[in-house]
Structure 1
Amino acid sequence: MLVDRQIVKLAVPALGVLTAEPLYLLVDTAVVGHLGAVPLAGLSVGAIVLAQIATQMSFLTFGTTARAARLHGAGRRADAVAEGVQATWCAVLIGLVLLVAGQLFVSPIAHALTGDVQAADAAIGWLRIALFGAPMILITMAGNGWMRGVQDMRRPLRFVLVGNGISAALCPLLVHGFGWGLNGSAIANVAAQLISAGLFVRALIAEGVPLAPVAAALKAQFGVARDLVLLGLAFQSCWISATAVAAHTSTAAVGAHQVVFQLWMFLALVLDSLAVAAQALIGAALGADDSDRARRVAWQVTRSGLAFGTVLAVLFAALAEVLPHVFTSDPGVLAEIPNAWWFFVALQPIGGVVFALDGVLLGAGDAAYLRNATMVAAALGFLPIVWASLSFGWGLAGIWSGLSAFLLVRMVSVVSRLRSGRWAVVGAVRA
């Protein structure tokens, strides 16, 4: 029961942090969706490109959490916060590089991802503005990382809610009220990211630890990044391929994919709230040399993930005839949505188990295994099916069949790792 209470105590505020951004994106999708199919397609392509930043740089959150949690479990809070300082410097440096590179390459990337010139042009305009938020996104990720590691979940919730709340109010005003269309959506995004990042930086300064960059620590941060960047590449090869195939199918298909995929990402992060709790608790337990406790947390969070995913599946099955109309009124898009919707519903319990165990393995610092398992799932499960869908005209049903195969392969691999116990390596720093 103590483990259950601790999971809930950490998972509930983590849920708010994780869902704030995708919930805002759902609001954004609903606002833009009423502009028509072309702006919605442009947002779909632009959003999947911007998502690469968060996914490829996930080491700023997950790697920092794993290291900070072990140090916190060993009673070394100042050292745990210092991990956040160096992660924030990494965020600033990488964010500036991405901003410049993004402006240079945004046009060829957008045109490569969609066969429709109008949709590509819409995506380019949105991205040129939204990319100014890239450094802020990464600073927020670093801030979440060290705060999760020291089991401070409430302040990140406030920081993210303030930023996204203001942005959610701005979005319809800028898009429809001021008549700025899709560009208004991008400006609202940047506003949210700037506010949240500023609050995280202020919290880091208030900790009173040295704020100067340390070359050796930065080098260590980038070294840990390798496995998590490769893990992110495996995910994003799937997400980008899915969006590209949908965009080459039809404007209605990519619009429908945007609606269902944003719901999928939203619920994935809802389920990830359990993973965040597990990551912090397992890192702390292993840092305190308590492998038995780490295993108990791992099994409990797995059971909770399965139950939570099942509840979500039932809920969204009941909303199948109602919810899509919130996001778009375009008849073509609405006609395509059912081709993906029932896959999305059926995958929730599987996702509950997989995402929970992702948190377990990341908390244990077992990113190399997770990287390899995800790359195998992408290569053998998702990518062959999604590209066959393009060749044979299977449409959204083919794309989401590929996603189903991807999740099933990942579930087998992470459950096998859990049962083996080889992930439970104790110590303040994983060897």
Structure 2
Amino acid sequence: MGATEHRRKLLALAYPVYFELLAGVTAGIINMVWVARLGAEAVAAVAVATNLENLLLGVILVAGSGMTVLVARARGAEDPAALRSAVRGGWTLWAIVTPVVALGGFLCREPLARLVLGGSDDGSLPLAIAYFSIALPGITVFYATNVIDGILKGAGDTRTPMRLALLANGLILALDPLLILGFDLGVRGAAIATVLGRTAALACGFLALRRNAVLRQAAAAPSERTRSLIADARRAAATGLPMSADFVVRMTGALALVAIVARIGVTEVAAYGIATKAMYVATMAFYSVRQAAAIRTSHLLGAGRDERRAVGRQALLLGGALGLTAALTLLSAGPWVMRAFGSEGAVAEAGTLYLRSLGPYLVLLACFIALGGVFEGSGDSPALARITTCGVLLQLALAHILSGAGLPGICAAMAASMALQCAAVTRMYRRLPLAPRTQICRSGNRSGVSGPR
């Protein structure tokens, strides 16, 4: 299969994923815009609450990411029994994990609020508790939507998850002013709007599952059930856990880095926080390539074609191009980006310096994330998670040492750590076997190029 075909498939899979991920970031921004009218304490409460929700996303990625890989592999192998097993395993994991997080989080909402607010006992604490009282039970809907997204992506459909995310965001945009200000529900209104928007998207997601041709065909195919639900769940967990760990480690590292930046000064913390939100617009593109590479790799391996080198090469080129574009954009448009987020004065200057110093890190990060999709799709994500963990620890150590140089020193630490992570993943890539020139089809005929199943 030619490089052009791999590149075309990656682009077709990646761009809907990008807009889906971007919609998730936008939902938090929409809430913040309307909650800002309630005062600084409300903003602080919702900000820390949504940060916790982002961290909790890593829990359900065990099911969502695991199913994406397993469903794509079963689809490539044209094995309806394996596909049904993957879907059952994902939903079983959801049924096990969700009550623990939703019910446990609701019962512990006050200690959680104190934890994320750093023990503060000011006016933001009751507001955070009020938000959690709605948002944490609502995590049930959030997790279910993530599972549906994982199934659809594994089945080769990345556009429907994008549409579902846009639908949820549109409803949040309409409901926020009505519930927060119109019905005077405050931060509770923001949480209710988010849950209602996601619930509508979830209902449409279930309809999409019923209409998906690949899933309908697998459900209709006769087969004998050979594994229990627990066995299916274990397989999904074994596949998705390293990917979940990778996400959680990166999120935790980002939070820990804030404490190191705080040693430099308050201005730098504010600048770092704003600039990081701007950087998410770029990093979502990198992760969209990663998901596309994982889906493509899993599908081809399931079909009996090991083309990891070819897929990895195209993912690396695409990720590198996106990283370079992001670096050049932030280098030239840094001041305008900071102003767009409402910063000015010393904060805007510090943020501009940070964005302009991010270039090397962004290019390396893009390459690492994009190439990592190949290893996620081929079942080598445990090694990838170990590289990420070591890289994050090294980044924090270097940031501590170089923090005396200000935000450019932080960027240098991030780039140095990422360079070593890239070196490690490149070594893994070079060990991959070369794809055979001739593929053996199921019919037993040989052909130089075999198209996707």
Equivalent residues in 2 for 1:81-96, closer than 5 Å: 81-96=84-99
Matching residue of 2:327: 313
Equivalent residues in 2 for 1:217-228, closer than 5 Å: 217-228=232-243
**Helix, strand or coil at the partner of 2:62:** helix
Deviation at 1:275, TM superposition (A): 1.6
Letter of the structure 2 residue corresponding to residue 195 of structure 1 = A
Q: Distance in 1 between matches of 2:246 and 2:379?
A: 13
Q: Distance in 2 between matches of 1:141 and 1:235?
A: 19
Change (3 A) 1:274 1:218: same
Match of residue 80, structure 1, among 60, 77, 83: 83
What is the RMSD of the two structures over their aligned residues, measured on CA atoms? 3.4
Match of residue 63, structure 1, among 63, 66, 77: 66
**Structure 1 residue 367 and structure 2 residue 378: aligned?**
no
Change (3 A) 1:2 1:393: closer
Deviation at 1:78, TM superposition (A): 5.7
**Structure 1 residue 199 and structure 2 residue 204: aligned?**
yes
Q: Distance in 1 between matches of 2:131 and 2:393?
A: 31
Equivalent residues in 2 for 1:111-126, closer than 5 Å: 111-115=114-118, 116-118=120-122, 121=125, 122-126=127-131
Matching residue of 1:152: 157
Matching residue of 1:407: 418
Q: How does the TM-score come out when normalised to structure 1?
A: 0.84
**Structure 1 residue 3 and structure 2 residue 6: aligned?**
yes
Q: Distance in 2 between matches of 1:136 and 1:197?
A: 7
Matching residue of 1:49: 52
**Helix, strand or coil at the partner of 2:330:** helix
Q: Which moved more, 1:398-407 or 1:15-24?
A: 398-407
Does structure 2 conserve the Cα–Cα contact (< 8 Å) formed by 1:56 and 1:228? Answer: no
Change (3 A) 1:149 1:109: same
Change (3 A) 1:77 1:402: farther
Match of residue 397, structure 2, among 384, 388, 396: 384
Change (3 A) 1:77 1:246: farther
Matching residue of 2:283: 268
**Helix, strand or coil at the partner of 1:319:** helix
Does structure 2 conserve the Cα–Cα contact (< 8 Å) formed by 1:17 and 1:161? Answer: yes
How big is each residue's C-alpha offset from its partner over 1:127-161, in whole Å with a ceiling of 9 and x where there is no partner? 33322331222212221222121211222222221
Q: Which moved more, 1:185-194 or 1:118-127?
A: 118-127
Does structure 2 conserve the Cα–Cα contact (< 8 Å) formed by 1:92 and 1:138? Answer: no
Deviation at 1:216, TM superposition (A): 2.2
**Helix, strand or coil at the partner of 1:304:** helix
Q: Distance in 2 between matches of 1:79 and 1:405?
A: 42
For structure 2, list consecutive stretches of 5 or more residues without a partner in the other structure: 440-453
Matching residue of 1:418: 429
Change (3 A) 1:197 1:127: same
Deviation at 1:97, TM superposition (A): 1.1
**Comparing both chains, which one has the higher relative contact order based on Cα–Cα distances under 8 Å and sequence gaps of 6 or more?**
1
Q: Which moved more, 1:145-154 or 1:225-234?
A: 225-234
Counting aligned pairs with the same residue, the percent is 23
Q: Distance in 1 between matches of 2:296 and 2:350?
A: 42
Equivalent residues in 2 for 1:112-261, closer than 5 Å: 112-115=115-118, 116-118=120-122, 121=125, 122-176=127-181, 179-206=184-211, 207-208=215-216, 209=219, 214-243=229-258, 255-261=270-276
Q: Distance in 1 between matches of 2:434 and 2:413?
A: 28
Deviation at 1:65, TM superposition (A): 1.4
Does structure 2 conserve the Cα–Cα contact (< 8 Å) formed by 1:15 and 1:272? Answer: yes
Q: Which moved more, 1:67-76 or 1:326-335?
A: 326-335
Q: Distance in 2 between matches of 1:45 and 1:388?
A: 28
Change (3 A) 1:166 1:316: farther
Q: How does the TM-score come out when normalised to structure 2?
A: 0.80
Deviation at 1:356, TM superposition (A): 0.5
Deviation at 1:108, TM superposition (A): 3.5
Matching residue of 1:429: none
Q: Distance in 1 between matches of 2:32 and 2:413?
A: 24
Change (3 A) 1:227 1:11: closer
Matching residue of 2:337: 323
Letter of the structure 2 residue corresponding to residue 145 of structure 1 = G
Matching residue of 1:24: 27
Does structure 2 conserve the Cα–Cα contact (< 8 Å) formed by 1:99 and 1:132? Answer: yes
Matching residue of 1:286: 301
Deviation at 1:263, TM superposition (A): 2.7
Deviation at 1:267, TM superposition (A): 2.2
Letter of the structure 2 residue corresponding to residue 308 of structure 1 = L
Q: Distance in 1 between matches of 2:15 and 2:228?
A: 33
Residue correspondences, number: 421
Letter of the structure 2 residue corresponding to residue 384 of structure 1 = A
